[in-house]
A and B are shown apart, each in its own frame.
Chain A
Amino acid sequence: MATLPLYAQLINLFAAVLLLLAFAMLAQRRILTLIDLFAAQGFALACSTAIVAYGTRQPHLYASAALTLVLKVIALPLILHRLIRRLDVRWEFEQLINIPATMLIGIVLVVFAFNLAVPISQLASTVTRSTLGIALASVLLSFLMMITRRKAVPQVIAFLSMENGLFFAATSATYGMPMVVELGIALDVLVGVLILGVFFFQIREQFDSLDLRHLERLREGGIDEEGEST
């Protein structure tokens, strides 16, 4: 097969790195490394968007890449680091299923995502259309990560990483969304994380821990075990 131009190869490389980072986050035990991996993912995303901008000569993607860089590589990890320091979270955390099993489920999800993306990729006209499967796979992997975590902060990071995957899907299928929409999404994400920060303090104040098992007491009857009924 013919070799792709250099920028297309670089985009493929960054897409593969993105997928790798998604798996690495899935297997990671320590919160600080998790945040750094998330920042790395944001960086790979920004780089790939910038390369698409260069290769397809679409200047508005440069703005998009800059936005991603500022928000996901600088602002969000900073906020998360500060949050963790002030919340005094412990370093390691347990998971619902063990790591090798999680990885295997992850592989199954990746195959599923690749299959799902094939008909859409065929319709796309962008040069990056083959990376849509990877974008979808990283979304599903973040989803898996969300399900298998018991502490609040990793769930939030999984949520943010899901948004990364969606952003990458937008870039690979349609060269990004209109700027106004992207700005709106970025604003949402930022406000969301800030609100979550406030929320974590409330949780910690009430339960003295961020273990989500405390947040599973509400049952169908509507009254939790302490008899709190108002």
Chain B
Amino acid sequence: MIEIAAVIGTPVVAALLLAVFGERAGAPVINVGASLVTLIAALALTFRVAIDGPYSAFGQLFFVDPFNVVFVALTAFVGLTTALFSRPYMQIEEQHGRLSPARLRLYHSMFQFFMATMLIALLTNNMGILWVAMEAATLTTVLLVSLYRTPASLEAAWKYFILCGVGIAQALFGTILLYFASERLLGAEGGALLWTSLNAVKTDLEPTVLSLAFVFLLIGYGTKVGLVPLHNWLPDAHAEGPTPVSAVLSGLLLNVALYAVIRCKVLVEGAVPTSFARSLMMGFGIVSAIVAALLLLRQRDIKRLFAYSSIEHMGIATFAFGMGGPIASFAGLLHMTVHSLTKSAIFFAAGHAAQKTGTQAIDEIRGLITQSPLVGWGLALGALAILGMPPFGVFASEFLILTTAMSEHPWATPVLLAALGIAFAAIFSKVQPMVFGDTTAKRLPVRPAMLPVFAHLALVLMLGLWIPPFLAAWYRDAARLIG
């Protein structure tokens, strides 16, 4: 109980504090400090679950099981590293004149609020509260995307708000339908929206209503995952917002949205005997992967490039969960984890690269290694990792997904391979001149924070070579839960 309260309460308290004191020089330190406390609480929570098993708290309002506890820890960890990264990054932005202290106050408090909403979404047992938290997550980041107040960032924030808002309205309708189906079995008390109760009676829920509900829920939460054709907000929001925001959007928000989709999928699979839910997820996943890969070739902005890469990888993960089965779900979970770590690392490096060269255009960033080996190698290794090169973790998860696809859904394998191949070519050809050769980069006034980058990449490397047994056990438990 205490752990959950700490995990959620710390960011909220920090957000309120930062809303008042966010312009002072000590604000980034408070940010980092709060994220550290959140991480400690999250780790305590994971230990508790490891020892006691899944449990609910606060009168069934919150529920922790192997599935979401991994993501809680991941969220807290990425939150901490992003806070660490954002300290020097925002300092440089302030010195470059792109941000004022007032805006930094907004940034810091909204950052912590965003973390809070993510954690609530992960830990809640109530599908309605899940919806509220997802919508709140969008709201907290809208103003962050438009932080620079340029025309492009305003447009990106507007698109983000409207598209995600419309999407989440669909998800609300799906939630209403879900409540409608469950209320007939569980009564009109609040218990009808609790995932644990729903999971217990899922075979008795009305199949037509649940199928319809799942369509709306998939479209709604899928908009926030970035599934094609609902992905239009994603590249703009990633490209125009500040880098720490891009990192948490890619690394955390997409994951939590996919988590929501999977929770719904578990319910629907129990109620609907056909493979309806799985086919939908596979379809959306594979379309996202291939379309994003094709669009990668045309990108000229470094952040948009990696935003489309996020869409591709989330598509692959959705496809994996759509396939179902212990191996595919295991691979999907692993993929979500390593993608989150790798992508945020890449965004950190890309952010500093953009600061050093003063532009986000790929054609104008050159020879990073010559000027700053840390940034250059960070970007190079990150790109290699996300492309699925062994021995990084992405290779392991993609390999598992591909082999499962080959054995169960052979028609998908050529498409997946094509998507991965095209992405490889696109990213590799664009990153290579950015990293090697003559440089256009300049020194930065403050030492860039490359520690988070290498910390993430080291974790991804480790996961590629050796998955710690407790983690593997968790993934396996969660995969069994997902089915």
Contacts and interface: CB of A to CB of B under 8 A. Distances in A.
Interface string B151-162: 110111111011
A5 interface: no
Nearest to B303: A222
A196 B160 CA distance: 12
B209 A120 contact: yes
28 contacts: A119-B208, A120-B208, A123-B180, A123-B209, A139-B169, A146-B166, A152-B158, A159-B166, A163-B172, A178-B189, A181-B193, A184-B128, A191-B139, A207-B154, A215-B151, A217-B152, A218-B152, A218-B156, A218-B236, A220-B295, A222-B299, A222-B304, A222-B360, A223-B300, A223-B361, A229-B361, A230-B148, A230-B359
B190 interface: yes
A185 B151 contact: no
B155 A217 contact: yes
Interface in A51-101: none
Nearest to A124: B180
B136 interface: yes
Contacts of A30: none
Given A125-B184, A174-B176, A196 B154 contact: no
A135 to B, nearest CB: 9
Contacts of A7: none
Contact of B146 (A162, A199, A226): A199
Interface in B134-149: 135-136, 139, 142-143, 146, 148-149
A207 B132 CA distance: 32
B165 A159 contact: yes
B298 interface: yes
A155 interface: yes
Contacts of B193: 177-178, 181
A202 B149 contact: yes
Contacts of A27: none
Nearest to B127: A181
Contacts of B169: 139, 159, 162-163, 166
A35 B415 CA distance: 49
A163 B156 CA distance: 23
A191 B136 contact: yes
A184 B131 CA distance: 9
Interface residues of A, number: 53
B139 A195 contact: yes
Contacts of B154: 199, 202-203, 206-207, 215
B128 A203 contact: no
A221 B190 contact: no
B428 interface: no
A111 to B, nearest CB: 18
Contacts of B146: 199, 202
B143 A184 contact: no
Interface of B: 98, 126, 128-129, 131-132, 135-136, 139, 142-143, 146, 148-152, 154-159, 161-162, 165-166, 169, 172-173, 176-177, 179-180, 183-184, 188-190, 192-193, 206, 208-209, 212, 235-236, 239, 295, 298-301, 304, 354, 358-361
A36 interface: no
Contacts of A123: 180, 184, 206, 208-209
Q: Sort A-B residue pairs by CB-CB distance and give the 9 closest, nearest first.
A: A181-B128, A184-B132, A222-B301, A215-B155, A178-B190, A222-B304, A188-B135, A173-B180, A170-B176
A230 B360 contact: yes
Contacts of A207: 151, 154
A2 interface: no
Contacts of B172: 163, 166, 185
A93 to B, nearest CB: 17
Contacts of B166: 143, 146, 159, 162
A185 B354 CA distance: 39
A6 B184 CA distance: 26
Contact of A177 (B135, B142, B162, B179): B179
A205 B151 CA distance: 10
A124 B188 CA distance: 13
B208 to A, nearest CB: 6
Contacts of A169: 173, 176
Given A119-B208, A124-B180, A221-B298, A180 B360 contact: no
A203 B212 CA distance: 38
A177 B151 contact: no
Interface string A180-221: 110011011001100110110011011100001011111011
A110 B156 CA distance: 32
Contact of A195 (B143, B176, B188): B143
A120 B211 CA distance: 11
A38 to B, nearest CB: 16
B98 to A, nearest CB: 8
B303 to A, nearest CB: 8
B358 A230 contact: yes
A216 B156 CA distance: 9
A146 B172 CA distance: 18
Nearest to B354: A230
A175 interface: yes
Contacts of B361: 223, 229
Nearest to B212: A120
A212 B132 CA distance: 28
A144 to B, nearest CB: 12
Contacts of A220: 295, 298
Contacts of A188: 132, 135-136, 139
A184 B130 CA distance: 10
Nearest to A191: B139
A125 B162 CA distance: 34
B308 to A, nearest CB: 10
A214 B150 CA distance: 12
Contacts of A173: 176-177, 180
A143 B300 CA distance: 33
Contacts of A119: 208
B264 to A, nearest CB: 16
A222 B209 contact: no
Nearest to B110: A195
B146 to A, nearest CB: 6
A99 B483 CA distance: 50
Given A123-B206, A174-B180, A180 B142 contact: no
A169 B132 CA distance: 17
A166 B176 contact: yes
A187 B139 CA distance: 11
A125 B185 CA distance: 12
